[in-house]
């Protein structure tokens, strides 16, 4: 079973995300706000 995962046709080095995925992650990171208050961490999504 371990041999199957080491064969070349299972290993892909050409991982490229779609443009929609990149845009979604960038928009999400821009809208996310994290506020630290003492030991608590509050995460808010600003839409």
Could you tell me the pLDDT band of residue 17, with boundaries at 50, 70 and 90? confident
* Chain centroid, CA 6 distance in Å: 25
**Stated pTM of the model:** 0.51
pLDDT at 15: 79
Q: What average pLDDT does the segment 6-16 reach?
A: 64
Residue 45 pLDDT = 87
Residue 1 has pLDDT above 60, yes or no: no
Over the stretch 18-47, which tens digit does the pLDDT of each residue have?
Answer: 999 999 999 988 999 999 999 999 999 886
User: What Å distances lie between residue 15 and 11, 12, 18, 28, CA to CA?
Assistant: 10, 7, 10, 21
């Amino acid at each position: 079973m371990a041999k199957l995962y080491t064969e070349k046709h299972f290993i892909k080095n050409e991982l490229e995300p779609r443009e929609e995925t990149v845009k979604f992650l960038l928009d999400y990171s821009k809208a996310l706000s994290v506020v630290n208050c003492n030991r608590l961490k509050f995460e808010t999504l600003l839409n």
